[in-house]
Amino acid sequence: MILADIKIDDVARKVILHAPKNGFFFVIDRTNGKFISAKNFVDVNWATGYDSSGRPVELPAARDADQYESIPGPDGAHNWQPMSFNPLTGLVYLPAQHIPVNLSPEKSFVQNAAAPGKLGGLLGGNIGFVFNPPKSAPFGRLLAWDPVHQKEVWRVEHVSPWNGGTLTTAGNLVFQGTADGRFVAYDAANGTKLWERPTGSGAVAAAATYVVDDRQYISIAVGWGGSYGLTHRATEYQNPGTIYTYALGGTAKLPDFVKYRTEGLLQGVKYDPRDIREGGEIYVAAACIACHGVPGVGRGGNIINLGYVSAEEITNLRHILFHGPFRDHGMPDFSGKLTEGDVGKLQAFIQGTVDAIRPKSR
Ligand code: HEC
């Protein structure tokens, strides 16, 4: 949220500017909490707008549909990546997005019941809904938004959702890191791209600017993450978290960029092909798929895809699953949740899936 002093109908107002997940841009009087206005900054399908008292005018489908693809989706039209306000242009620079998810209720939902084949069931919870193929298209864009007239002034479309926060300067620039690994400066008035450098990874943080000994610097902490970043990516690179600092006349060289592993598909883990199907159900129920993706497909996001680990590791999978060495890194402990028999089925699914998609040699 941003505190700003803006003129609305020629009256100076002290306001809070807020663009939450639900797709509406709010202007609120911060001296008394009164609602001033709200306007959708992306297409939304759950409400037609807000009434003068600040309540949403909902569409009935948003409440009672058996299957409802909410737009914006659960990741929001704007997530935590910060927006910025420039008093010189009067505009807010907002990382907007849509990540389609089409859900229907899980009718047989039972709290904490193990539910083979249902996402997360074996981790102790049944999340209570079913994923259907989405109909809307994803997008990520940088919006310049006029909070007084509640309208878009310019936009830049990005290749993927989940781009970085924004920084705007008195020199009328807007800086943003992108999902596809670029750090970009735009003209704050019209969105013309003025400068760009590669970052070796997707960026989600916003940049910062500061002056030391009369020299102005701009720094950005680059790294790819968040729940979306765990399983998706929009760049070939996976550099470690890196802070880049720029100044006019700077001469330092960029570091070498590390490419995602794109060869060395898993090979040689022994399995019984009859176990593949059941192994797949466990792979979903234990939510392996949410963090590691489909083995050998997509190569994962922040967390490694299991189609590209060593055969030794998958052969010794039980050591990783039960009180394993990666627990401090965020890998759950499956002790008491998976059996020894489940491990063999998981191995069959992981190696069997990779074998099924491995390009045939001629
Ligand atoms: C909540 C996310 C999450 C879930 C669910 C999860 N993992 Fe992991 N897993 C991780 C993380 C994080 C690591 C550590 C990655 C690292 O340190 O590089 C990891 C590491 C691993 C490794 C070692 C990979 C390597 O880096 O060499 C294997 C194998 C593995 N997991 C298998 C599984 C299997 C099989 C399942 C399902 C039964 C599973 N994981 C479920 C997050 C998860």
For 137-170, write each residue's pLDDT tens digit. Answer: 999 999 999 999 999 999 999 999 999 999 999 9
Cα 316 to ligand 1 centre (Å): 13
Take residue 82 and report the two structure tokens written for it. 């910060």
Take residue 41 and report the two structure tokens written for it. 């900054």
Of 303, 349, 350, best ligand 1 pocket probe by most atoms within 8 Å of the beta carbon: 303
34 neighbors 84 (Cβ within 8 angstroms) = no
Cα 292 to ligand 1 centre (Å): 7
Cα 110 to ligand 1 centre (Å): 26
The residue whose CA has the least distance to atom 6 of ligand 1 is 288
Atom of ligand 1 nearest to the CA of 304: 26
Minimal CA–CA distance to 234: which of 162, 315, 342, 312? 162
Residue located via tokens 């989600």? 204
Return the number of other C-beta atoms located less than 10 Å from residue 29's C-beta: 14
Atom of ligand 1 nearest to the CA of 306: 29
Tell me the C-alpha to C-alpha distance, in Å, between residue 89 and each of 86, 170, 173, 187.
Answer: 6, 9, 10, 11
Q: What pLDDT is attached to residue 225? A: 80
Residue 112 burial (10 A CB sphere; 0-12, 13-18, 19+): exposed
343 neighbors 315 (Cβ within 8 angstroms) = no
Cα 331 to ligand 1 centre (Å): 5
Q: What pLDDT is attached to residue 319? A: 97
Indicate the length of the chain as a whole number.
362
Minimal CA–CA distance to 118: which of 136, 133, 130? 130
Cα 24 to ligand 1 centre (Å): 37
Cα 319 to ligand 1 centre (Å): 12
C-alpha to C-alpha distance for 288 and 267, rounded to whole angstroms? 19
Of 258, 269, 291, 305, best ligand 1 pocket probe by most atoms within 8 Å of the beta carbon: 291
Of 326, 338, 339, 351, best ligand 1 pocket probe by most atoms within 8 Å of the beta carbon: 326
Return the number of other C-beta atoms located less than 10 Å from residue 336's C-beta: 7
Cα 360 to ligand 1 centre (Å): 28
Task: Tell whether omega for the bond before 255 is within 30 degrees of 0, i.e. cis.
Answer: no
Q: Which amino acid is at 179?
A: A
Atom of ligand 1 nearest to the CA of 334: 38
- Ligand 1, residues at Cβ distance < 6 Å: 286-288, 290-292, 303-304, 306, 309, 313, 317, 320-321, 326, 329-332, 334, 346
Atom of ligand 1 nearest to the CA of 309: 27
Residue 94 burial (10 A CB sphere; 0-12, 13-18, 19+): buried
Cα 258 to ligand 1 centre (Å): 21
Cα 282 to ligand 1 centre (Å): 14
Spans of the chain, pLDDT less than 50: 362
Q: Which amino acid is at 178?
A: T
